[in-house]
């Protein structure tokens, strides 16, 4: 497997700022989010708030200080979280907005050791730039097996008969069950667990139908399952098994109305999420006999309140959210989530990220210098805006000879946004929250692909960043249509500035840049170089771009250190220099 490329700048870098924050419209100042690799620069701290398989803990301990503290109250969690870089939970811990707020920006990743992320406030995580990763595959078989266990034990009254015999009774007539063979099972949600349940139920001789608007028909056909509408599924099934995520669309999907449309005597299995069923409606349906039996592993409130009528109902088989609880699944999810969390803390993008785009390592490796270029162009462009102008519209153009669908620009867009917004605010921007922050600030980012002729040796030839409808501190940075325009390329692996407004320049984007507009005349480079040399400021690059000999020219000077104010003033005071700006990268 290829080693994932570290993109720690996406998660960690912050530079000092010089541009006034009034550049952006509507500044709702957010709390400063400090993002450091760990407090004090040592090992990061990972809070494991629910029992996690030992293999996962061992893996975490190789990289971090691991604090295993279970059964924390919300208050205790909020107190601890400000000292933690990562948090790992199962389904029993609510990770709400208050947790992200209390972390004061230190929390960089939440790992969910399982599939369902309905206990994590994803919107708040994204807003706070916190990556959320889960372990989506390791407990699939366990959940499917538990679904089948509930289906078969419900049909044969195993739990009720067991309780009865333990109570000293011998009730053979009471616990006559129903057979599964030839019966119709409707699987609602044909994802990982649903399809494994379907496959097993086929093996039991059941006729399996499924409803899932997003599932491909050929996948269903391949295991002998028919994809049907929701209506057909619920009205023709003898058994219904739920395998949906809990979302706004699936919440209380089974309710009084839908129970009324089911076959009388239907049997329901739920190993998905309690909230998919209106539990009071289920109770009514059980009491009226519409639903003959239910087998429930999950509940709207977990654990359910004492004396919960559903749990105590004689036709209900209940288990305490055990779907993922096998030795094998718990070791599996522990390793899956530990690897994702450690990777994210190292600045890698996790393949199981829930609130960030997944970019394969080979794409990241190829885009790495362009990622740096994109951020620096954003950073340069925004520093060219006159304080007080509002930045509302930014256009990013990627010129490439690759086919339009052969270039993933999400990473680049995120970095342009990072470059644009971080220098003028206290907000930390990463791949997780970049689009959210841009939108929140009223900055519309549009992207354009320019397809060039030729062989695509490089993924991108050049990137242009334009800011429309603003005034510039450096008028020469304006294009013909009045936008601030900067353009850059990657030259021999080094991000370089190649155009400012209409002027072609050539300066590597390292350190800082001085831009001067001057009347083109001999000796200018020497004059500026000697002023900088007098102060021991190392010049890394100098380049002059002009429209025509003897006319105006733009000189771009790359410097390693920031010159003193006096030195900058001396350059500005050279009589041929008409405009001057110092930009930090
Ligand atoms: N009880 C447990 O311990 C346990 C264990 C694992 C998973 N789960 C739960 O099981 C559920 C399924 O997990 P999974 O890993 O199969 O997830 P998955 O994402 O692989 O599958 C979910 C499927 O539901 C479908 N779906 C979404 N909205 C739908 C709708 N409105 N109607 C019909 N189908 C819809 C999706 O298209 C997807 O195919 C989740 O809720 C998960 O949290 C519970
Ligand atoms: O969504 C899941 O992965 C399951 O519901 C398992 O939850 P658990 O980790 O709390 O057992």
Catalytic residue list contains 273: yes
Choose one of 141, 189, 324, 335 to mutate for the ligand 2 pocket test, by most ligand atoms within 8 angstroms of C-beta: 324
CA distance 270 to 294: 8
Please give the distance, rounded to the nearest whole angstrom, from the Cα atom of residue 116 to the centre of ligand 1: 8
Q: Confidence band (pLDDT; 50, 70, 90) for 33?
A: very low
Sign of the dihedral defined by the CA atoms of residues 206, 212, 217, 223, in that order: negative
pLDDT at 1: 33
Q: Could you tell me which residue, 232 or 437, shows the higher pLDDT?
A: 232
Q: Is the pLDDT of residue 23 over 60?
A: no
Q: What contacts 23, CB < 8 A, 6 or more positions away? A: 382, 385, 387, 388, 389, 390, 391, 424
Is-contact 385 484, C-beta < 8 A?
Answer: yes
CA distance 541 to 509: 9
Please give the distance, rounded to the nearest whole angstrom, from the Cα atom of residue 27 to the centre of ligand 1: 40
Tokens of 40: 């004090």
Q: Is the pLDDT of residue 360 over 60?
A: yes
Cβ neighbours, 10 Å, residue 343: 21
Tokens of 531: 């002023």
| Look-up of token digits 């391949």 | 222
What number of H helices and E strands is found in the chain? 19, 22
Q: Is the pLDDT of residue 130 over 90?
A: yes
Average pLDDT value over all residues in the chain: 88
Residue nearest to atom 10 of ligand 2 (CA): 91
Mean pLDDT is lowest, of 13-27, 47-61, 439-453, for 13-27
pLDDT at 5: 36
pLDDT at 388: 64
Residue nearest to atom 5 of ligand 2 (CA): 116
Cβ 193 under 6 angstroms from ligand 1: yes
Is-contact 463 495, C-beta < 8 A?
Answer: no
HEC-encoded secondary structure of 111-149: EECCCCCCCECHHHHHHCCCEEEECCCCCHHHHHHHHHH
Residue 493: helix, strand or coil by DSSP? Answer: coil
Q: Is the pLDDT of residue 488 over 80?
A: yes
Cβ 511 under 6 angstroms from ligand 1: no
Please give the distance, rounded to the nearest whole angstrom, from the Cα atom of residue 49 to the centre of ligand 2: 14
Q: Is the pLDDT of residue 8 over 70?
A: no
Q: Confidence band (pLDDT; 50, 70, 90) for 55?
A: very high
Choose one of 211, 214, 242, 244 to mutate for the ligand 1 pocket test, by most ligand atoms within 8 angstroms of C-beta: 244
Q: Confidence band (pLDDT; 50, 70, 90) for 327?
A: very high
Catalytic residue list contains 90: no
Choose one of 245, 253, 320 to mutate for the ligand 1 pocket test, by most ligand atoms within 8 angstroms of C-beta: 245
Please give the distance, rounded to the nearest whole angstrom, from the Cα atom of residue 131 to the centre of ligand 2: 19
pLDDT at 550: 61
**Would you say the ipTM is above 0.90?**
yes
Q: Shortest CA distance to 271 belongs to which of 385, 115, 451? A: 115
Mean pLDDT is lowest, of 18-32, 80-94, 133-147, 186-200, for 18-32
Q: Confidence band (pLDDT; 50, 70, 90) for 3?
A: very low
Q: Is the pLDDT of residue 449 over 70?
A: yes
Cβ neighbours, 10 Å, residue 13: 15
Mean pLDDT is lowest, of 218-227, 319-328, 444-453, 522-531, for 522-531
Cβ 250 under 6 angstroms from ligand 1: yes
Choose one of 91, 112, 113, 116 to mutate for the ligand 1 pocket test, by most ligand atoms within 8 angstroms of C-beta: 116
List pocket residues of ligand 2, CB cut-off 6 Å: 90-92, 113-116, 139, 321, 323-325
- The CA-atom distances, in angstroms, between 416 and each of 32, 373, 467, 469 are 20, 9, 12, 18
pLDDT, tens only, 467-479: 999 999 899 999 9
Q: What is the pTM of this model?
A: 0.77
CA distance 424 to 452: 34
Share above pLDDT 90 across residues of the chain, in percent, rounded to a whole number: 64
Q: What are phi and psi of 350, to 5 degrees?
A: -80, 145
Tokens of 433: 């929250």
Is-contact 480 492, C-beta < 8 A?
Answer: no
Please give the distance, rounded to the nearest whole angstrom, from the Cα atom of residue 246 to the centre of ligand 1: 8
Please give the distance, rounded to the nearest whole angstrom, from the Cα atom of residue 416 to the centre of ligand 1: 35
CA distance 65 to 63: 7
Q: Could you tell me which residue, 265 or 568, shows the higher pLDDT?
A: 265
CA distance 578 to 439: 37
pLDDT at 560: 87
Cβ neighbours, 10 Å, residue 179: 11
Cβ 337 under 6 angstroms from ligand 1: no
| Strands of 359-443, DSSP E | 393-400
- Which ligand ends up closest to the CA of 149? 1
Tokens of 69: 């503290």
* Active-site residue, selected from the candidate residues 273, 413, 473, 489: 273
Is-contact 134 117, C-beta < 8 A?
Answer: yes
Q: Could you tell me which residue, 143 or 552, shows the higher pLDDT?
A: 143
Residue nearest to atom 41 of ligand 1 (CA): 245
Side-by-side strand order, sheet with 291-296? 226-227, 207-211, 184-188, 239-242, 266-270, 291-296, 316-318
Catalytic residue list contains 200: no
Q: What is the CA radius of gyration of the chain?
A: 31
Q: Is the pLDDT of residue 343 over 70?
A: yes
Is-contact 570 531, C-beta < 8 A?
Answer: yes
* Active-site residue, selected from the candidate residues 75, 302, 362, 448: 302
- Which ligand ends up closest to the CA of 191? 1
Q: What are phi and psi of 201, to 5 degrees?
A: -65, -35
pLDDT, tens only, 406-423: 888 888 999 999 999 988
Residues facing 134 on adjacent strands: 112
């Amino acid at each position: 497997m290829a080693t994932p490329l570290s993109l720690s700048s996406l998660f960690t870098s912050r530079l000092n700022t010089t541009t006034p924050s009034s550049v952006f419209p509507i500044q709702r100042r957010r709390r400063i989010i400090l993002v450091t690799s760990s407090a004090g620069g040592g090992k990061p701290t990972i809070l494991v708030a629910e029992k996690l398989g030992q293999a996962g803990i061992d893996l975490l301990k190789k990289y971090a200080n691991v604090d295993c503290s279970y059964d924390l109250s919300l208050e205790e969690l909020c107190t601890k979280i400000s000292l933690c870089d990562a948090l790992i939970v199962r389904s029993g811990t609510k990770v709400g907005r208050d947790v992200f707020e209390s972390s004061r920006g230190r929390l960089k990743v939440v790992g969910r050791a399982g599939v369902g992320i309905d206990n994590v406030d994803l919107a708040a995580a994204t807003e706070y730039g916190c990556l959320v990763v889960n372990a989506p595959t390791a407990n699939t078989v366990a959940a499917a097996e538990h679904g089948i266990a509930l289906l078969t034990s419900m049909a044969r009254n195993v739990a009720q008969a067991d309780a009865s015999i333990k109570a000293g009774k011998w009730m053979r007539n009471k616990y006559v069950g129903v057979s599964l063979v030839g019966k119709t099972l409707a699987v609602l949600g044909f994802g990982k667990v649903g399809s494994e349940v379907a496959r097993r139920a086929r093996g039991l001789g059941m006729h399996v139908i499924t409803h899932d608007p997003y599932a491909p028909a050929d996948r269903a056909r391949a295991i002998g399952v028919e994809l049907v509408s929701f209506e057909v599924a619920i009205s023709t099934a003898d058994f219904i098994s739920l395998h949906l995520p809990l979302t706004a669309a699936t919440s209380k999907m089974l309710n009084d109305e839908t129970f009324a449309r089911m076959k009388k005597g239907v049997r329901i299995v739920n190993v998905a999420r309690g909230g998919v069923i209106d539990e009071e409606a289920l109770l009514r349906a059980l009491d009226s006999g519409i639903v003959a039996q239910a087998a429930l592993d999950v509940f709207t409130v977990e654990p359910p309140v004492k004396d919960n009528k559903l749990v105590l109902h004689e036709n209900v088989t209940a288990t305490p959210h055990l779907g993922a609880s096998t030795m094998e699944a718990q070791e599996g999810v522990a390793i899956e989530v530990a690897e994702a969390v450690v990777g994210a803390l190292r600045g890698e993008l996790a393949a199981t990220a829930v609130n960030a785009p997944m970019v394969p390592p080979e794409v990241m490796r190829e885009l790495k210098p362009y990622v740096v270029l994109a951020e620096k162009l954003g950073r340069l462009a925004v520093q060219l805006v006159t304080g007080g102008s509002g930045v509302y519209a930014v256009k990013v153009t990627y010129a490439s000879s690759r086919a339009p669908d052969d270039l993933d620009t999400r990473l680049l867009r995120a970095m342009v946004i990072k470059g644009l917004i971080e220098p003028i605010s206290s907000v930390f921007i990463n791949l997780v929250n970049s689009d959210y922050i841009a939108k929140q600030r009223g900055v519309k980012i549009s992207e354009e692909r320019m397809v060039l002729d030729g062989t695509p040796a490089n993924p991108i030839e050049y990137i242009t960043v334009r800011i429309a409808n603003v005034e510039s501190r450096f008028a020469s940075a304006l294009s013909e249509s009045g936008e601030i325009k900067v353009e850059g390329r990657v030259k021999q692996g080094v991000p370089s500035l190649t155009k400012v407004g209409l002027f072609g320049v050539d300066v590597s984007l390292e350190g800082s840049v001085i831009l001067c507009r001057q009347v083109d005349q001999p000796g200018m480079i020497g004059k500026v170089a000697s002023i900088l040399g007098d102060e021991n400021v190392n010049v890394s690059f100098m380049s002059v771009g002009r429209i025509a000999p003897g006319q105006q020219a733009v000189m771009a000077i790359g410097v390693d250190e920031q010159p003193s104010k006096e030195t900058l003033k001396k350059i500005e005071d050279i009589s041929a220099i008409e405009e001057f700006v110092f930009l930090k990268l």
